[in-house]
């Protein structure tokens, strides 16, 4: 699989291979997080659209028609809206045109002397129905709308590089068949100009983890995304706001999943992957387990018979807890990518090493993972365990380097030149190692 970026925010060019473990390094403000969020946004948009199949579209249209039925309902009169289920199916199957329905309802509204606001409400409902039909027939339109919404929540600014009008995002998956699949999004002057789709990716979902520190406000996060997550599609829009990135609501949705019965089956080799060793290792390291109360939908950390709310749990334990819950809820798998931005931030060096070992074990089981890191401990640990596991060929390292002229970065592969990475990451420590020298300068 490949991700190519051209003139996207801080990144001038990037050509990144993805599929096993992809490690992104670079200085602060070099665009590492941008790579992860763009990858999340494009895959999430495509997969969200793929999940909106015919029957889901019928269900959404029925919801709109029920509101219209209530507006027009008169016990003594027959109405085209009497059987909304059949009407919804006919609309999806193109047996009834939305334009014809609009004319009939507007004529009836005029007869009943509806107010201007009521007529506007009717038109808006029908416009939504029409948009649903268009998205079902033209997935490019649906992907465009979904990507724009997700990217807006993730970046809150236009995606074109500073001073550039044209930008391109391309994701190619060569693991599906001989021809592979493509998702290509072209942007012009801050807006999506075109979307090209070819085939379906082997990836069914993607998760982006920015920080584990949100564990104590997961329920709040689920309700504050402008784009409904899987469990919240269909939620009234007034309960959703545009004040958090979509990946946070998506993470909350997964960590609060109540599919523990199903995940137990996944963890015990029903489908060829057994994660029990990794879950046991996490429990051993943190001395307990994060457990979901199925009634209250609240997470708690249980250790030695004590129940501790997440807000009182150390940040390093939360990091392992997030990984624990993602495994338990089948949110990562061969078909579900994990992107983690700087996982070492809240971890002691010893725990960084343990965390790397777990990542390599998951990659060895076929889970595609992308991480960014500033830590030489972390990168070296990934390198060490990949070698010990015999999967070095599945690990690619990239470094983002800024141009002095353009101030934009190019992401280059450094798999065969990791000394460049360690030179960059270890330089600050070398500068402050010689304490005796600095003492002498003070005399």
- Judging by beta carbons within 10 Å of its beta carbon (0-12, 13-18, 19+), is residue 209 exposed, middle or buried? buried
Q: Please, which residues have CB within 8 angstroms of residue 357's CB and are 6 or more apart in sequence?
A: 281, 381, 385
User: How large a percentage of the chain has pLDDT more than 90?
Assistant: 55
Give the SS3 label for residue 434.
coil
**Average confidence (pLDDT) over 255-283:** 68
Residues in a beta bridge with 169 = 5, 185
Measured distance CA(440)–CA(198) in Å, rounded: 66
Least confident of 52-56, 127-131, 222-226, 374-378: 222-226
Per-residue pLDDT at 218 exceeds 50: yes
Q: What does the DSSP assignment read for 164-199?
A: -SEEEEEEEE-SSSSS-EEEEEEEETTEEEEEEEES
Q: Say yes or no: domain 16-51+204-435 is CATH 3.40.50.300.
A: yes
Above 80 in pLDDT, residue 428? no
Q: What is the pLDDT of residue 178?
A: 62
What are the structure tokens assigned to 173, written together? 């998956």
pLDDT band with cut points at 50, 70 and 90 for residue 257: confident
- Which class for 186: exposed (0-12), middle (13-18), buried (19 or more C-beta within 10 A)? middle
Question: What are the backbone dihedrals phi and psi of residue 113, each rounded to the nearest 5 degrees, phi first?
Answer: 60, 45
Q: What was the pLDDT predicted at 229?
A: 61
pLDDT of 431 > 80? The answer is no
Residue pLDDT, tens place only, 203-216: 989 999 999 998 88
Predicted confidence at residue 75, as pLDDT, reads 56
Q: How many CB atoms lie within 10 A of CB 290?
A: 24
Neighbours of 166 (CB within 10 A): 13
DSSP, collapsed to helix, strand or coil, labels residue 53 as coil
Domain borders along the chain are 16-51+204-435, 54-137, 139-198
* Strand 11-17, strand 181-188: pairing: unpaired
Q: Tell me how far apart the alpha carbons of residues 145 and 141 are, in angstroms, rounded to a whole number.
A: 6
Note the pLDDT of residue 267: 44
Round to the nearest angstrom and report the end-to-end CA distance of the chain: 58
**Lowest mean pLDDT segment, chosen from 49-53, 81-85, 299-303, 349-353:** 49-53
Between CA 396 and CA 14 the distance in angstroms is 14
The burial of 86, by beta-carbon neighbours within 10 Å (0-12 exposed, 13-18 middle, 19 or more buried), is given as exposed
Q: What is the DSSP letter of 160?
A: B
């Amino acid at each position: 699989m490949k991700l190519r970026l051209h003139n996207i925010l801080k990144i001038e060019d990037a050509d990144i291979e993805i599929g096993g473990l992809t490690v992104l390094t670079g200085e602060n403000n070099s665009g590492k997080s941008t790579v992860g969020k763009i990858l999340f946004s494009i895959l999430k948009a495509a997969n969200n659209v793929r999940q909106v199949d015919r029957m889901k579209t019928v269900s959404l249209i029925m919801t709109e028609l029920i509101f219209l039925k209530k507006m027009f309902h008169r016990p003594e009169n027959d109405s085209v809206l009497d059987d909304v289920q059949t009407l919804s199916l006919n609309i999806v199957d193109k047996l009834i045109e939305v334009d014809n329905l609009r004319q009939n309802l507007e004529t009836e509204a005029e007869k009943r002397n509806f107010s201007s606001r009521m007529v506007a409400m009717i038109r808006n409902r029908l416009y939504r129905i029409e948009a649903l039909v268009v998205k079902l027939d033209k997935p490019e339109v649906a992907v465009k709308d979904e990507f724009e919404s997700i990217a807006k929540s993730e970046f809150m600014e236009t995606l074109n590089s500073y001073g550039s009008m044209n930008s391109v995002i391309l994701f190619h998956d060569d693991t599906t068949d001989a021809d592979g699949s493509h998702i290509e999004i072209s942007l012009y002057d801050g807006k999506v100009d075109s979307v090209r789709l070819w085939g379906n990716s082997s990836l069914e979902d993607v998760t982006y983890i920015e920080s584990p520190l949100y564990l104590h406000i997961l329920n709040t996060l689920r309700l504050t995304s402008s784009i409904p997550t899987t469990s919240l599609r269909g939620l009234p829009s007034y309960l959703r706001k545009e004040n958090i990135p979509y990946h946070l609501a998506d993470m909350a949705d997964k960590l609060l999943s109540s599919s523990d019965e199903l995940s137990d089956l996944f963890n015990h080799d029903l489908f060829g992957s057994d994660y029990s060793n990794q879950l046991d290792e996490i429990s051993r390291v943190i001395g307990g387990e994060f457990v979901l109360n199925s009634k209250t939908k609240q997470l708690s950390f249980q250790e030695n018979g004590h129940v501790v709310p997440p807000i009182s749990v150390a940040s390093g334990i939360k990091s392992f807890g997030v990984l624990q819950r993602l495994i338990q809820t089948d949110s990562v798998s061969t078909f579900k990518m994990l992107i983690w931005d700087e996982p070492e931030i809240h971890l002691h060096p010893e725990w960084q090493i343990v965390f790397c070992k777990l990542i390599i074990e998951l990659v060895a089981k076929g889970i595609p993972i992308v991480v960014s890191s500033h830590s030489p401990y972390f990168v070296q640990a990934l390198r060490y365990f990949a070698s010990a596991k015999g999967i070095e060929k599945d690990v690619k390292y990239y470094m983002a380097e800024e141009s002095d002229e353009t101030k934009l970065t190019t992401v280059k592969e450094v798999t065969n030149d990791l000394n460049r990475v360690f030179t960059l990451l270890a330089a600050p420590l070398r500068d402050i190692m010689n304490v005796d020298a600095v003492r002498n300068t003070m005399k």
